[in-house]
Amino acid sequence: MLAFLTRRLATILPTLLFVTILIFGLQQLLPGDAAKVLAGEDQDPTVVEYLRKKMHLDEPFPVRYAYWLGGVLRGDLGESLRMQKPVTALIAEKLPVTIELAALAIVIALAIGIPAGIVSAIAKGTWWDYAANAVALWGLSTPNFWLGIMLILLFSVQLGWLPASGYVSPFEDLKANLAAMIMPAFVLGNAIAAVLMRHTRSAMLQVMSSDYVRTARAKGLDERVVILKHGLRNALTPIITLGALELGTLLSGAVLTEQVFTIPGFGKLIVDAVFNRDYAVVQGVVLFTATAYILLNLLADIAYFLVNPRLRDGYARA
Amino acid sequence: MTRRSSLLPLLFALLCACPLGAQTLRFGLAEDPDVLDPTLARTFVGRIVFAALCDKLFDIDEKLNIVPQLAESYSWSPDGKALTIKVRPGVTFHDGEKLDAAAVKYNIERHKNMAGSNRRGELSLVSTVDVVDPMTARLNLSAPFSPLLAQLADRAGMMVSPKAATAAGEKFGANPVCSGPYKFVERIAQDRIVLERYPNYWNKGQIFIDKITYLPIVDSTVRLANLKSGQLDIIERMAPSDVPGLKSDSRFKLAKVTEIGYQGITLNVGKSDMAKTTAIGKDPRVREAFELALDRDGIVQVALEGEGTVGNQWVAPDNPFYAKSMPVPKRDVAKAKALLAQAGVPNPVVNLMTPTTSDAQKIAQVVQAMVKEAGFDVKIQSTEFATSLNLADKGEFDAYVLAWSGRADPDGNIYSFDACKQPLNYAGYCKPEIDELLTKSRTASDMGERKKAYDQIAAVVLKDRPIVYLYHRHWLWAYNSKLSGLRTIPDGLVRVQGLKL
């Protein structure tokens, strides 16, 4: 276990360093002059010059990178020049929103995707299967922003049941928070549910035709027990991996959905920052989500290691 | 019967008492404002919030007249080089500090000297500020500058608490302390800005709403949906295509006014060497043909569903500074063709750079179709805004679809665009005679004299065509019909004084 951990940790640091270079380097490829964009309508030359100095844009690339990396190592991700707020404060402000939205979306995706996948696998070739597949196809092919606007028109404008957009902190008003989050979470979860459904279906089909399932049936076990205990449990491993990956993607921000529902999360933060060439924000948020992603991956690997005896034995022998 | 009639007034009293609880105006903005520091601020949308947060020395009214706000009165010295301002007595900042002449001096100097100030250019001709007596300040100018009052009716005239500003330094925008009708409560970036009524506001008789929440909602469909579902009371910059649908709904009202800004197409006439190689850059006849091939009414119909006023100058036709001698030209394709033949280029190629907003895209497409009839071959280059700005600045374009949000004084709509080497002069236009006239138009204090200068400028510039002006859009507000007292000021900023819910 220790050998495994050391080996994994040893790869993380260079990966992170590479990520910082990549983030910083790619950012430089953005066309346009950040100082000019931030200078606003009037384009006052002294303001442009001032901003350029402040962002170290007058220095060569390695020097700028060193300035930034030095800050990062001290825990300082810089300051948003547009909003005049430290990037760390912005991340702290948006992170709970993004986490909540991502968690709700995954819960919805699991709640729809897995049962639908099971049903279509068990009832393969029946109308149930076709219906579940049709729903999945719809979920995959419906653009998020379109579905979002349609939901707003139906539930907010026509029926008046839910707020059209915006965000309320759950600590302020849990009911209002859920009312505001349900539509965006559904829009995001809907698309993921479709992917999960397809994977659950194929994993279940494979497992259900295996020998141990046939044995279980031969033993005269209740069909429900066969499906849920012998079938689903074994089919779940790839689904959990997929769910974790989707969660990681959601944490980096759901750009269009956040835009439509005006949810102040990472997606909106980063898109606005790119358009306003607010470099420190783009770099800070991307670095944060990349680190989170890498750490989540590490956790998943550790979980595998604990769950899968074959992996464990492999390391013990080495 | 008698009993019932005695109950009725009581019932009415109860009904009327209901809305007296804390009232909040929920205001949907089209963008998220930038930093809330009047000295550093640079976006149009931020000015909408400032209208409730920070009072200014002057304000403008519906007819663009300058009216005093924090200034009680003012007078110009005979040589036009000193503006004496009597400060309104009894005004306090949100931290309780008093507004006096020393505070005015502090603020003007802050605007002029703070690192990164966006106001420095607006106040460049103000050399010093004297405190004449505790409530009288004098702004000394290095040269006469008649647009100064208009500048002081915008961010350059906003007064912040010297004590709070000194203490906060460049972080002032995170917790602004001004003297407007509402004080700052909190801001969650990209989510909301909350202001609450300042009880000691000097003009509190005009303030009826307790709280204002500004919510930036970028998508116009979602902004409207929020209004319709009751989450917002008012939205700004409604999409013109939504106007017909809202007109038939009695729960909502619509207000509009022609903007002080404009939409135009900037032509590269000398920004870079590229201008010497393109037909449209080097030959004024080609530019004239381009303008003659345009049907402005058609453009307004397509791009704005008719919600705009056609125009051909940097100010709208109803503006007192509009040069009547140069009316909007009628479309004349035959003449355009003849001009192109004369210039020897029957089918000039024009690369039209356009930002990716849907308005700009529509304009580009309809312009492309219109000028094609005269023989132009327009190629549309959709370019992300920041990139397009960069290309424009380097002069790497033929034509550029560009809008200006406008300033109350005409100087703010033309000087930086047409005077040599100015930052917004993307066309690369430069003529000493025009520079002279532009200087004259800003130094003359007499309205008639200024107007004459602008007429002369129009006669030349509108023939040289560094910018082909297309229209002035309508500012469109949609609001709950319970809201009353909305004033339509051409700068597009909602004054909160007099608003009732």
Q: Which two tokens stand for residue B451?
A: 């107007």
Partner residue facing A43 (CB), from B117, B191, B424 = B424
Instruction: Determine the pLDDT at residue A159.
Output: 87
Q: Using an 8 Å Cβ cutoff, are B413 and B407 in contact?
A: yes
Write out pLDDT tens, residues A212-247: 878 888 887 787 877 877 777 777 777 777 877 788
pLDDT tier at B17 (50, 70, 90 boundaries)? very low
Which of B176-180, B355-359, B454-458 is predicted with the least confidence, judged by mean pLDDT?
A: B355-359
Q: Which of A107, A124, A128, A130 is nearest to A196 (CA)?
A: A107
Q: Is residue A191 part of a domain?
A: yes
Q: What is the mean pLDDT of residues B469-488?
A: 95
Q: For chain B, what is the mean pLDDT?
A: 91
How many angstroms separate the first and last alpha carbons of chain A? 11
Subunit contact B116:A50, Cβ cutoff 8 A: yes
Q: How many CA atoms lie within 13 A of B222 on its CB side?
A: 27
Subunit contact B230:A157, Cβ cutoff 8 A: no
Q: Look at A30 and B402; give whichever has higher pLDDT.
A: B402
Q: What is the mean pLDDT of residues B328-344?
A: 95
Which of A202-211, A280-289, B385-394 is predicted with the least confidence, judged by mean pLDDT?
A: A202-211
Q: Which structural domain, as residue segments, surrounds residue A165? A: 95-275
Q: Which of B118, B365, B495 is nearest to A41 (CA)?
A: B118
Subunit contact B226:A164, Cβ cutoff 8 A: yes
Instruction: Determine the pLDDT at residue A313.
Output: 63
Phi then psi for residue B445, to 5 deg, are: -100, -20
How many angstroms separate the first and last alpha carbons of chain B? 34
Q: Is residue A52 part of a domain?
A: no
Which of A219-223, B216-220, B366-370 is predicted with the least confidence, judged by mean pLDDT?
A: A219-223
Given a cut of 70, is residue B10 above it in pLDDT?
no
Question: What CA–CA distances, in Å, run from A8 to A311, B67, B292, B442, B487?
Answer: 14, 70, 70, 69, 65
Report chain A residues whose CB lies below 8 A from the CB of B216: 262
The reply to whether A33 touches chain B by the CB within 8 Å rule is: yes
- Domain count for chain A, please give it: 1
Q: Look at A125 and B70; give whichever has higher pLDDT.
A: B70
Q: B35 vs chain A: nearest CA distance in angstroms?
A: 5
Subunit contact B116:A38, Cβ cutoff 8 A: no
Helix (DSSP H) and strand (DSSP E) numbers for chain A: 15, 2
- Per-residue b or e along B326-345, where b marks 16 or more CB atoms closer than 10 Å to that residue's CB: eeeeebebebbbebbeebeb
Write out pLDDT tens, residues B226-281: 999 888 999 999 999 899 989 889 999 999 999 999 999 999 999 999 888 999 99
Given a cut of 60, is residue B4 above it in pLDDT?
no
Partner residue facing B32 (CB), from A38, A51, A272 = A272
B28: left (phi over 0), alpha (psi -120 to 50) or beta: beta
Question: What CA–CA distances, in Å, run from B409 to A26, A79, B153, B491?
Answer: 43, 35, 10, 11
pLDDT tier at B11 (50, 70, 90 boundaries)? very low
Subunit contact B423:A46, Cβ cutoff 8 A: no
Q: Is residue A12 part of a domain?
A: no
Q: Mutate which of A27, A28, A43 to test chain B, going by most B C-beta atoms within 10 A?
A: A43
Q: Is residue A1 part of a domain?
A: no
- Per-residue b or e along A168-188, where b marks 16 or more CB atoms closer than 10 Å to that residue's CB: bebeeeeeebebbbbbbbbbb
Q: Is residue A241 part of a domain?
A: yes
pLDDT tier at A316 (50, 70, 90 boundaries)? low
Distant-in-sequence, close-in-space partners of A150: CB < 8 Å, separation ≥ 6? none
Which CATH number characterizes residue A170's domain?
Answer: 1.10.3720.10
Q: Which of B280, B327, B323, B331 is nearest to B466 (CA)?
A: B280
DSSP B19: G
Q: Look at A305 and B404; give whichever has higher pLDDT.
A: B404
Q: Which value does ipTM take for this structure?
A: 0.77
A158: left (phi over 0), alpha (psi -120 to 50) or beta: alpha
Instruction: Determine the pLDDT at residue B46.
Output: 94
Q: Look at B480 and A132; give whichever has higher pLDDT.
A: B480
Q: Is residue A246 part of a domain?
A: yes
Cα nearest neighbour of A156 on chain B: B229
DSSP per-residue letters across B114-159: STT-SSTTTTTTEEEEEEEETTEEEEEESS--TTHHHHHTTGGGB-
Surface of A (93-152) touching B: CB under 8 A: 93, 149, 152
What's the CA gap between B62 and B256, in Å, rounded?
A: 12
Given a cut of 80, is residue B81 above it in pLDDT?
yes
Given a cut of 50, is residue B14 above it in pLDDT?
no
What's the CA gap between A23 and A68, in Å, rounded?
A: 11
Question: What CA–CA distances, in Å, run from A88 to A248, A282, A288?
Answer: 20, 12, 9
Given a cut of 70, is residue B468 above it in pLDDT?
yes
Q: Is residue A264 part of a domain?
A: yes
User: The pTM is what?
Assistant: 0.84
Given a cut of 70, is residue B114 above it in pLDDT?
yes
pLDDT tier at B418 (50, 70, 90 boundaries)? very high
Cα nearest neighbour of B188 on chain A: A93
A56: left (phi over 0), alpha (psi -120 to 50) or beta: left
The reply to whether B43 touches chain A by the CB within 8 Å rule is: yes
DSSP B495: P
pLDDT tier at A314 (50, 70, 90 boundaries)? low
Q: Is residue A81 part of a domain?
A: no
Subunit contact A84:B225, Cβ cutoff 8 A: no
Write out pLDDT tens, residues A241-283: 787 778 877 877 677 888 888 888 888 888 888 888 888 888 8
Q: How many residues does chain B have?
A: 501
Write out pLDDT tens, residues A68-102: 888 888 888 888 877 788 899 888 888 888 888 98
Instruction: Determine the pLDDT at residue A1.
Output: 67
* Amino acid identity for residue A232 in this structure: L
Given a cut of 90, is residue B433 above it in pLDDT?
yes
Neighbours of B19 (CB within 10 A): 10
Three-class SS of A152-192: HHHHHHHCCCCCCCCCCCCCCCHHHHHHHHHHHHHHHHHHH
Question: What CA–CA distances, in Å, run from B295 to A257, B370, B407?
Answer: 39, 7, 26
